[in-house]
């Protein structure tokens, strides 16, 4: 187990003042994240938090999860030769489950656990799985001079986390995409639910459980982005952007994305359609993406949806009702893939009703601005309070010459936000 402490403080006041009982949010900055290592003479620090899950019954304590570690896009590098390439300054980096807590206007970490492989005592890496080959494949470099790092079939790009009902933690990741069940005290992997999993599928059939193969049609780097468990024990996971189903053009133009419902005891899955927002201003249709989701009760979820391009930035939380939505029967509805219906009204005309969504909170009106990057953590604290966290991409970027790494000064923050109306929150033991 990796242990470390972090410190932070409330760094920004709402215009109404965070000390005022009527203020809508409080914001806490992570000031002293632990060091990861040194690369090109620059120090890298922990960050990249990609999800958030409140720990029921705690005093403002949360689980968060890192993604695959510091990585930078190298597609435009002359040596990339048109391939999808990522620079991993620390190829041995292990994604971590981190326990955070708010204390006395500070954000602190109680402990962190590196996620462990289900087939060995080793920790996982964040490297792309080699077995994906040309399907959503990426090449990993450890240096800008095209030093190639071998892929890892158990590599993990964690993007979602939720507290389970049986002393377990569930995370989702976007490489395959897949859902992982962990022991909550050690982060040892218990089970993995995924589409076809390379040569290990038969060898580790006791650990590996199937998900529908259609999920392999994700847009590269847009797999599972959020996960939650409802009080009745059902797992819900959200794809970040619509599937490229049957092709890339459809994926870039459709508004219809998928939520996946998994019964972890039986392995049974159902999928439902979620209508993304439409193109507006500088925002193209393909720019919209889901950042996270969390369960309100057995029939309602909160979904974080966002987009940023040019002069426009949107980051909103929606209350989603799943009660009357139509589960997809197969990948051919009236002769089309569900994504080819393009929008909710057309899908309903073909007998497929999407989940309904109602706007709840505009994060940009609660202190979340362009300087904070992506909103990728969402959880419910109580009937009138949600918590949100940003992903700072470890606060680094590539310089224009694609040879050196520089700082972005994007920090990690956690917001506590009052909702405009009370939620009907239900937890397992309610």
Residues 8-418, CATH architecture: 6 Propeller (2.120)
Q: What percent of the chain has pLDDT over 70?
A: 92
pTM equals: 0.92
pLDDT tens profile 374-397: 999 999 999 999 999 999 999 999
Lowest mean pLDDT among 14-23, 353-362, 402-411: 14-23
How far CA 107 is from CA of 17, 50, 110, 151, 184, in Å, comes to 19, 16, 10, 35, 21
Joined together, the tokens standing for residue 311 give: 């002069």
pLDDT tens profile 9-50: 333 333 333 333 345 999 998 888 889 999 999 999 999 999
Confidence of residue 330 (pLDDT cuts 50, 70, 90): confident
The confidence score (pLDDT) of residue 259 equals: 98
The closest alpha carbon to 303, from 372, 225, 365, 416, belongs to: 225
The confidence score (pLDDT) of residue 294 equals: 98
Alpha helices, DSSP H only, in 210-356? 248-253, 344-349
Cβ–Cβ under 8 Å, residues 158 and 179: no
Give the separation between CA 427 and CA 430, rounded to whole angstroms: 5
Joined together, the tokens standing for residue 262 give: 């998994």
Give the separation between CA 138 and CA 149, rounded to whole angstroms: 11
* Residue extents of the structural domains in the chain: 8-418
- The arithmetic mean of pLDDT across residues 163-189, rounded, is 92
Q: Which residues contact 335 (CB under 8 A, 6 or more apart)?
A: none
The burial class, CB within 10 Å (0-12 / 13-18 / 19+), for 190 is middle
User: Can you tell me whether residue 323 is helix, strand or coil?
Assistant: coil
Joined together, the tokens standing for residue 315 give: 């980051």
The confidence score (pLDDT) of residue 395 equals: 95
The confidence score (pLDDT) of residue 5 equals: 36
The confidence score (pLDDT) of residue 25 equals: 96
The confidence score (pLDDT) of residue 14 equals: 34
- The arithmetic mean of pLDDT across residues 116-127, rounded, is 90
Confidence of residue 231 (pLDDT cuts 50, 70, 90): very high
The confidence score (pLDDT) of residue 345 equals: 98
Backbone angles phi, psi at 222, to 5 degrees: -135, 50
Whole-angstrom Cα Rg for the chain: 20
The confidence score (pLDDT) of residue 39 equals: 97
pLDDT tens profile 198-215: 555 567 778 899 999 999
The confidence score (pLDDT) of residue 260 equals: 98
Confidence of residue 134 (pLDDT cuts 50, 70, 90): low
Element (H, E) at 13: none
The confidence score (pLDDT) of residue 15 equals: 33
The confidence score (pLDDT) of residue 2 equals: 40
């Amino acid at each position: 187990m990796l242990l470390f402490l972090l410190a932070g403080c409330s760094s920004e006041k709402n215009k109404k003042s965070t000390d005022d009982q009527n203020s809508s949010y409080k914001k806490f900055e992570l000031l002293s994240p632990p060091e990861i290592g040194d690369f090109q003479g620059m120090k890298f620090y922990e960050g990249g938090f990609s999800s958030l899950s409140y720990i029921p019954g705690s005093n403002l304590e949360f689980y968060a999860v890192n993604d695959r570690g510091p990585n930078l896009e190298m597609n435009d590098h002359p040596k990339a030769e048109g391939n999808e390439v990522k620079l991993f300054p620390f190829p041995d980096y292990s994604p971590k489950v981190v326990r955070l807590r708010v204390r006395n206007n500070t954000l602190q970490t109680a402990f962190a656990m590196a996620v462990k492989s289900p087939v060995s005592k080793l920790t996982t890496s964040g490297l792309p799985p080699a077995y994906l080959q040309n399907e959503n494949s990426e090449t990993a470099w450890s240096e800008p001079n095209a030093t190639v790092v071998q892929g890892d079939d158990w590599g993990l790009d964690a993007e979602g986390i939720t507290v389970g009902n049986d002393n377990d933690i569930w995370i989702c990741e976007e490489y395959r995409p897949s859902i992982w069940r962990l022991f909550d005290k050690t982060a040892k992997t218990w089970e993995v639910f995924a589409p076809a999993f390379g040569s290990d599928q038969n060898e580790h059939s006791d650990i590996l459980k199937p998900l529908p193969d259609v999920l392999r049609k994700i847009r590269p780097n847009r797999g599972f982005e959020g996960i939650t468990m409802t009080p009745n024990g059902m797992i819900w996971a959200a794809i970040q952007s619509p599937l490229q189903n049957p092709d890339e053009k459809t994926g870039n133009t459709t508004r219809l994305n998928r939520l996946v419902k998994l019964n972890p005891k039986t392995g049974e899955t159902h999928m439902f359609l979620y209508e993304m927002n439409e193109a507006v201003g500088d925002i193209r249709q393909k720019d919209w993406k889901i950042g996270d989701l969390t369960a309100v009760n057995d029939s309602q979820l909160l979904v974080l949806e966002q987009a940023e391009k040019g002069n426009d930035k949107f980051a909103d939380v929606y209350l989603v009702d799943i009660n009357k939505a139509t589960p997809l029967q197969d990948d051919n509805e009236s002769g089309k893939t569900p994504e080819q219906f393009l929008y909710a009204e057309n899908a309903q005309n073909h007998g497929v009703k999407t989940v309904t969504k109602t706007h709840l909170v505009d994060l940009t009106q609660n202190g979340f601005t362009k300087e904070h990057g992506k909103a990728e953590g969402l959880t419910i604290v109580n009937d009138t309070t949600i918590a949100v966290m940003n992903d700072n991409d470890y606060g680094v970027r590539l310089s224009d010459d694609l040879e050196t790494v520089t700082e972005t000064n994007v920090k990690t923050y956690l917001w506590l936000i009052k909702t405009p109306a009370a939620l009907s929150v239900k937890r397992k033991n309610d």
